[in-house]
Structure 1
Amino acid sequence: MFIKSFEAENGPAAIGPYSPAVKLGDFVYVSGQLPINENNEIDESIELQTKACLENMKKLLATQNLELRHVVKTTVFMTDLADFDKFNEVYAQYFEKPYPARSCVQVAALPKGAKVEIEALVIDTLVYEANMKNKSCSGCQGSDCSGCR
């Protein structure tokens, strides 16, 4: 089969019949990450829950030598959009420009009583990055750059 599933040894286990993440070629699909912390609990505040979701995503991606910089799209599910500003404060600490594309929707409820869940689409560019580095190319993609051709 072409699809490879994976999970983080030190991350929360799936709570149903699904893979925490699957990889097909360069595409990685990360299932919704719940805010289960290192004590296998869910903190009360949206800030700590957001941090836990993103830390769990980082652990999962690290199993494939990937980082949050490889995330191209997230979908955020929140039980109360009144928490959106607080959520954004924490989210902004994890991503840099260019930020991933993102959708955010309010839902009636999330598993385990969570306030937030984050899923992601990730592109594994490690092979391309290594090729560019070997060609001494900065990836500028400019019309006058001979290293990018």
Structure 2
Amino acid sequence: MPNPEVSYPRDADTPVSHLPFSPCVVVGNLVFVSGQASVDKTGKIISGDIESEFRLSMQNVEAVLKTAGTDLAHVVQTRNYVRDENDLPKYNELYAEYFTDAKPARTTITQCLPQTLRYEIECIAVLPQ
């Protein structure tokens, strides 16, 4: 039986996954966003370099956050997965473009993704007051 205090926002702009998880879960004023990778609207992985995969992953995060009623400015924590440690300088440069002022708490793990992905991000955000 579903918990009435938990919601699972989703709309036509929410990235699709063929795996068994929700793109996000809202509990109170917290939004938990599942790992977002460089996938298109059908859930197909779009492989590329670190920059193209990072930007598409962030577009997907922004879409999920918008569906939940929040945005990147309200992200309080991120977990980032970078396949190749040689991509870390570019990853840090790109990350700073998206999180410019108050930076969320952050964890970055390398050498943990399959060959089809260079980058994935998950996050926790708060709903605006």
Are 1:101 and 2:105 counterparts? yes
**Could you say which residue in structure 1 is the equivalent of 2:124?**
121
Q: Which of 10, 14, 31 is the aligned partner of 2:13?
A: 10
> Residue 19 of structure 1 aligns to which amino acid in structure 2?
S
Deviation at 1:47, TM superposition (A): 0.3
**Could you say which residue in structure 1 is the equivalent of 2:86?**
82
Deviation at 1:38, TM superposition (A): 5.5
**Alignment RMSD:** 1.8
Deviation at 1:32, TM superposition (A): 0.4
**SS of the counterpart of 2:68?**
coil
Q: TM-score, normalised by structure 1?
A: 0.76
> Residue 69 of structure 1 aligns to which amino acid in structure 2?
A
Q: TM-score, normalised by structure 2?
A: 0.87
Shift of the 38–17 alpha-carbon distance from structure 1 to 2, 3 Å rule, reads closer
The 8 Å contact of residues 51 and 91 in structure 1, kept in 2 or not, is answered as: no
Deviation string, structure 1 residues 94-121 (Cα, Å, up to 9, x no partner): 11221111000013324x8111100001
The 8 Å contact of residues 61 and 67 in structure 1, kept in 2 or not, is answered as: yes
**Could you say which residue in structure 2 is the equivalent of 1:27?**
30
Q: Which of structures 1 and 2 has the bigger CA Rg?
A: 1
Deviation string, structure 1 residues 33-71 (Cα, Å, up to 9, x no partner): 011145844141100100111110101111133110010
The 8 Å contact of residues 8 and 59 in structure 1, kept in 2 or not, is answered as: no
The 8 Å contact of residues 26 and 68 in structure 2, kept in 1 or not, is answered as: no
Percent pairwise identity = 30
> Residue 30 of structure 1 aligns to which amino acid in structure 2?
V
**SS of the counterpart of 1:93?**
helix
Q: Which has the higher contact order (CA 8 A, sep 6+)?
A: 2
Shift of the 108–67 alpha-carbon distance from structure 1 to 2, 3 Å rule, reads closer
